[in-house]
A and B are shown apart, each in its own frame.
Chain A
């Protein structure tokens, strides 16, 4: 079945440093989503990427979708303590299968930011 691998598992940074997490799928994806889960909270949707090579920005966050639609990255510029949490990617298989609507989540990257 579809697998989504995410690295690194943990990332510790000083406030102000940049952070990147990478996501790789074993199969070509229809789209990829990113979620953030604060400590003690639940996953919250950040963004969805659909097109090959797509790049989207949300303030200090930059999301990229690979040309082959099998990998993605999330980059945070100048991290702040409010960025602390676990960042998950979630890939959706191509439509037409029996898993319409199903997302496969990566393991997540736990980000800690030291002030």
Chain B
């Protein structure tokens, strides 16, 4: 286990639903990330939080809303998603210090939007 957990592991939702993805890291890291992984595409960085402050938002549509209440927890709130948002959503954490920031990934949430 990598010390990063994600729930749920699988999620099927309609376009009008509201759901949230949860990530928790037990590694004492100070940075957390949300990535989207679609078939045949590279990992797409969505959001970065350093010390609970959002430092990166890579032009992600507003139907994705991140929340980082503390350095161990990260949420991704979903609403009015589109079928093309179906993907594997990966959470990662790292210790950002001295330029060494090996990222530890969670198992991901497989999201299907109908």
Contact = CB atoms under 8 A, between A and B. Distances in A.
A21 to B, nearest CB: 13
B99 A99 contact: no
A105 B107 contact: no
B95 to A, nearest CB: 9
B108 interface: yes
A31 B100 CA distance: 8
A31 B41 CA distance: 22
A42 B55 CA distance: 24
B2 A33 contact: no
A106 interface: yes
Interface string B24-38: 000000010000000
Contacts of B100: 31, 48
B105 A43 contact: yes
Interface string A71-100: 000000000000000001010100100111
Interface residues of A, number: 28
A88 B31 CA distance: 21
Given A4-B42, A90-B43, 18 more contacts: A6-B42, A30-B99, A33-B102, A35-B103, A45-B104, A48-B102, A50-B99, A92-B99, A98-B55, A99-B55, A100-B50, A100-B55, A100-B96, A101-B31, A101-B101, A102-B45, A105-B43, A108-B43
14 contacts: A4-B42, A31-B99, A31-B100, A35-B103, A42-B2, A42-B106, A42-B107, A44-B2, A45-B102, A92-B101, A98-B55, A101-B31, A105-B45, A108-B42
